[in-house]
């Protein structure tokens, strides 16, 4: 890991120890996939927690995620939860049709489940039965509409920790930002109306607007980490 990637690992460890979740918002190309794998590897290598972990990604990046997991942390057994209904059942059911989880007689044969947004919706009832250690969502802007099917689905999953990945700056649309923060920290960011009232960026006064943005960044700082290529290269 490069120094800035070690920094993000320590940041994620700190959040997990405090029972908090976060948004890794590094600019595209800085290795968010590797950094998110590093926190899963830390849980296994240092805490002896093997999962289960759930990673939700675009279909186009499924193979890349599987390859990166195998490359950087081969000790974590990953499954590509996709394909036909029969294929999916074979991965997580035993010969009697019972769910293979930590409470079943047959131990899990995998630690990380990598799947797509669409498959989360399709297999919602099945995925709800697991007590996930880490939930990682790639391209987290998919959660910006808190009323969407995918957003509603993943909010229903039992998770110990949640990590959102995005390469897009978040401060443009406040309600969309609230949806992400509410997903990560529902006890803190519980009211969308109150959030919009606090940070009303539709006002015309530029000084007031800059002050509100500064306040928002201050609130976000513990929960979001964003680095740019130009900063990392220094």
- Mean pLDDT split into 10-residue runs, the chain, 234 residues: 92 93 91 95 90 93 95 92 80 55 64 93 90 93 82 92 85 69 81 72 67 73 88 78
Q: Which of 70, 37, 40 is nearest to 52 (CA)?
A: 40
Beta bridge partners of 224: 23
Cis before 52 (ω within 30): yes
For residue 32, what pLDDT is reported? 94
Query: What pLDDT does residue 96 have?
Result: 40
Q: What pTM does this model have?
A: 0.86
Beta carbons within 8 Å of 185's beta carbon, 6+ residues apart? 20, 21, 223
Class of domain 3-232: alpha beta
CA-nearest of 22, 86, 79 to 55 is: 79
């Amino acid at each position: 890991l490069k120094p800035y990637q070690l920094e993000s690992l320590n940041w994620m460890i700190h959040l997990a120890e405090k029972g908090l979740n976060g948004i890794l918002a590094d600019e595209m190309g800085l290795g968010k996939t590797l950094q998110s794998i590093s926190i899963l590897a830390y849980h296994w290598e240092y805490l002896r927690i093997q999962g289960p972990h759930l990673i939700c990604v675009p279909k186009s990046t499924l193979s890349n995620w599987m390859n990166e997991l195998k490359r950087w942390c081969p000790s974590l057994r990953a499954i590509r939860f996709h394909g036909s209904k029969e294929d999916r059942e074979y991965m997580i059911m035993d010969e009697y049709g019972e769910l293979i989880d930590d409470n079943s007689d047959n131990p899990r044969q995998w630690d990380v489940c990598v799947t797509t947004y669409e498959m989360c919706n399709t297999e919602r009832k099945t995925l709800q039965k697991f007590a996930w250690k880490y939930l990682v969502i790639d391209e987290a802007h998919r959660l910006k509409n808190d009323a969407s099917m995918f957003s509603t689905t993943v909010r229903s999953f039992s998770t110990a920790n949640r990590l959102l990945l995005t390469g897009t700056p978040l401060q443009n649309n406040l309600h969309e930002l609230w949806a992400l923060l509410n997903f990560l920290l529902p006890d803190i960011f519980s009211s969308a109306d109150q959030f919009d009232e606090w940070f009303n960026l539709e006002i015309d006064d530029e000084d007031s607007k800059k002050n509100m943005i500064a306040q928002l960044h201050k609130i976000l700082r513990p929960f979001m980490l964003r680095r740019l290529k130009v900063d990392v290269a220094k």
